[in-house]
Structure 1
């Protein structure tokens, strides 16, 4: 499987030659085999990409993410078509059974809350009352236990003064980390022949990644945990690099140990198989094993 993520942080020309991405800077030239790459983040506004490289990125199902002047992801590439996309795949997505969609969403919420509880427990923070909220999750999370837990979870993990929507280094890091995971999920949705736009729970007209926004939920606590273990007062390049490296963190997914990016690949495949009635998915197990602090 592809194992390399590439981050561009300085003035550079990116082009394609000899089945490689060529990165030319003021100092040197580097060649990265295109078949090894699954993610490229252009973390500068001073990079130039050739159209042939963009064409090859698209053909090889590589996710390309651009950031704004503050370093926050602002857009990503989404192929019009994948090698697997057909009318029948998109028709099946539009016609997914409501019961299947609600069952999957219920499992996503439960796994997310369970992982949030695990984070609090790991940090010796109060968590036992949230077990009651987990047990209270109903079909399709109709009573919105996800939001109830979130209100308590973030202030316990990051401190009583923490407000999720404030412009702070922690929130900037959370948003960045979530965007990286979302990009990887969207890449795999398209690679499986589906569109990230049509979700099972999220349905916002202005969200091109509703399905990705659904599937990311169990992964968010992994980002939360890493950030809560860092000591930083500015959203620096080191924090950004660390968040990208999380894609190589070791996790246990459905009883198997694997890298996080490989778990995303398997997870997306499992979810669409379940929605198509081709796989049972009574629980979703996603557990962080370890990463570089």
Structure 2
């Protein structure tokens, strides 16, 4: 089973594939890895040349390429020869509004629950946890936004340790670390969506935009706290007085390991990547059957957060 998420960050490099080996040539030398062991390739290099042979071999092995600019995903290169299912595609297109709403509600409930459990572990004595619990367990229309707002305040006070931290793609502080971690998560979700034949352009919550993959952003929501926990641990072990953390080689190596962390999923203990696959398969089943009960989003139970 492929599991390596390969990060290419050398200032200048050449990527190719020969005899089943992913090969990266830089000024420092040559490194290689069996392409069949690769789950995704994240390219943050400022100047990388990619041989067409690599693109073909990556497609054959179901490997996704995430090409970044300033460490933010700018392009996703995914296999075209993936499994497809007419029944599944039709189910995605014809999904009822009520069914879509229920699927999204289950997704958000799981995300809010996971944010709550992480906040409790990061700041067990914080007086705001009681309010956060009420929000996370509530049914209001603004539940996700209100829960996230309070979660990030607690996160800022106990992780970033600053009063002016704001979660956003263009913001500073821990945000570059979070953004890179979410890019890894997104690539993992996308690969699994394509692997089971689900078209990620048909979302249930995020707005559909040109050239977007809203379903991937939808289904990654409950797993975001996995990244948040990983980043929290990094920050606590690598404090910065000026609150400016860089996405350097050490951090990349650290954060790309989170898909292999063990978590509970019903009666099983699996790595995060395996749970993502299980969740997506359950989502596929719900689409085909039209029964939202078949969808089993991940909620954190007894497993200790890495952070």
Q: How does the TM-score come out when normalised to structure 2?
A: 0.86
Q: CA deviation at 1:259?
A: 1.1
**Cα RMSD, aligned residues only:** 2.2
- Give the Cα–Cα distance (whole angstroms) in 1 for the partners of residues 146 and 306 of structure 2: 31
CA contact (8 A) 2:201 2:213 kept: yes
- Corresponding position of 1:133: 135
1:197 equivalenced with 2:201 (yes/no): yes
- Corresponding position of 1:248: 260
CA contact (8 A) 2:186 2:216 kept: yes
- Corresponding position of 2:246: 235
Pairing of 1:184-223 with structure 2 (within 5 A): 184-206=188-210, 208-223=212-227
CA contact (8 A) 2:282 2:295 kept: no
Q: CA deviation at 1:208?
A: 1.0
- Corresponding position of 1:144: 142
Pairing of 1:99-110 with structure 2 (within 5 A): 99-110=98-109
CA contact (8 A) 1:155 1:161 kept: no
Pairing of 1:30-45 with structure 2 (within 5 A): 30-45=31-46
CA contact (8 A) 1:249 1:291 kept: no
1:175 equivalenced with 2:168 (yes/no): no
Q: CA deviation at 1:290?
A: 5.3
Q: CA deviation at 1:131?
A: 2.0
Deviations 1:224-272 (A, max 9, x none): 1222232343223122322211111111122311111111111111111
- Corresponding position of 1:113: 112
1:169/1:255 Cα in 2 relative to 1: closer, same or farther (>3 Å)? farther
- Corresponding position of 1:49: 50
- Corresponding position of 2:154: 156
- Give the Cα–Cα distance (whole angstroms) in 2 for the partners of residues 137 and 241 of structure 1: 39
- Give the Cα–Cα distance (whole angstroms) in 2 for the partners of residues 40 and 209 of structure 1: 18
CA contact (8 A) 2:63 2:191 kept: yes
Q: Which moved more, 1:129-138 or 1:15-24?
A: 129-138
What stretches of structure 1 move > 6 A for 4+ residues in a row? none
Q: How does the TM-score come out when normalised to structure 1?
A: 0.89
* Contiguous gaps of at least 5 residues in structure 1: none
Q: Per the alignment, in what secondary structure is the counterpart of residue 256 of structure 2?
A: helix
- Give the Cα–Cα distance (whole angstroms) in 1 for the partners of residues 173 and 204 of structure 2: 32
Q: Per the alignment, in what secondary structure is the counterpart of residue 257 of structure 1?
A: strand
* Contiguous gaps of at least 5 residues in structure 2: 158-162
